Structure 1
């Protein structure tokens, strides 16, 4: 069997492979049979037992990295979402969780320079999917200046503590559509069913495109668990229709599953709650166990955009630099810098750890 070297990593609440681009075919069109097989797809059983994936969208991910030739970046990276049952490669959007591991891995592998301040290193990353710059700041140890994963910072959805990684997404608006509000409206009406059913949605593109709808408008409890949501085939089918209708209005291909993603929003339980807004997110037609980080960034920014559904639902965000988003596994705090109505940057904190390095084997028996 053929193989390639890779790192198996946890980034935030996701895990997957990080691969040096030099280890893959030069022609990106030839990546599909290699990467899908490595992750254990296609798998009609949906478990990916024959590869590195584990049957859910947040663990069927890959980042391909290379030294950057850009003046404003140290490393380039392409995020790849591998379809579990079909084995298709979706490279339409970025992943904030996996992005948190790219800087440390690229630095340790000598693929990226950086700016050092004391015991911290900042690596400038260019995300090929969205053509956006992300600054990754992480701890390094004094002994060998390698990434230091140990620390006291914790994130909901991941047991234990680690060192804090700060991701700052530069000029994040219009990642796929060119505008924060692709339609120019803070709220659009989606007309998505043959019977003429309509629903309001805010279509926002910051870090990654999102379709934000009120959970109550679909008669869905705001605090519904991912398992219960995923088990209701009628609701899931309705949410996919919402996503496709939103994609069309945003000028995106509805057949691309990774963007936009659908996010259900609802109010917190009280004005004294430490949370500002509650969300349930879907990714690749699956309820997310937490929330995709690029969607959390999008949601946090939308909460500060007057007139959007998130802004009308959120509680207690006026005058604050950050928004606390409650998700199915806990909470995440995201910050944004908005000047004169323009989104300059958004940031969040994560942890990451390299779990294993070695050779990943694959077979081309499924290729056409």
Structure 2
């Protein structure tokens, strides 16, 4: 009886089945890894990471961090990561801003604005992203004029079929003080915003923390910059020969990728924003109107804070999709991680397994990191039942 009761115990069976499943999974992984290593050894191939110190021997057209042709494969991996993160961060910022605007436009009482926003979303989100990237690259940025006929945007920016050119800042001695002032100003703006929220909650009196924080972030570094003798020079792009020299430039592939990713992702973010706002009871708006609250303050302080509880979870998925969709840059030759690492480096070195494993590890790390940060914020804004 005791043995029968032990066998029939739900907890015992649960532990037993989990243990069996764990052993089976570990055994399967061990079999696949050992079998792969054996087969590669028979063909004279290596699955190790010793190739990372070998010189790559190829050039990369666009690099965010310093890179020379003779640098190692590991440096190529770092360049690919930096370029991919650059695209992901800039794309996420632009997509969020554009998605918020279009989401609010979808709820506008103006028929024209509402209809234009609807068609913007419906057309672009139902068109393949790869097609949009190719269209922007070959149909827009590759058709810009030659460098000698570049589009001059106030002498600050130049556009041509070889990219966009901007003046590059060159820090002088003493510029570190301005950077420290900027960090202190940002920290002060955050503290001011927290204090304003507590003041509003405790007394009901609002304080323009956004405007005050922006003024602090702009004025404090500017005053320190001027007091330290303006230790900053500018390297201006200038047409020399057949192209521009100096300054900072980005290739057409980068511009096309950013525009396509931002627009495509903004369509989904717009629908997320619209659904989040509509999830808030209309009684909240009516109550605010009855109390004489301005529509702009109603949206900022009443509707959006409640809507964020609905917006954040699907927004995480869109940021992750944008990061992974940046791998489509290989179609137009932008040197992201997939292009320089999974394509060029893999073809040269033949180390498929370590290269694929490192690429998968990077995307997993980014996805888990973004999910962790946004889930922390999501837990903070969840309603707590008492």
Class of the TM-score when normalised by the shorter of the 2 chains: under 0.3
Larger Rg: 2
The structure in which a higher percent of residues are strand is: 1
TM-score (norm 1): 0.21
TM-score (norm 2): 0.20
The structure in which a higher percent of residues are helix is: 2
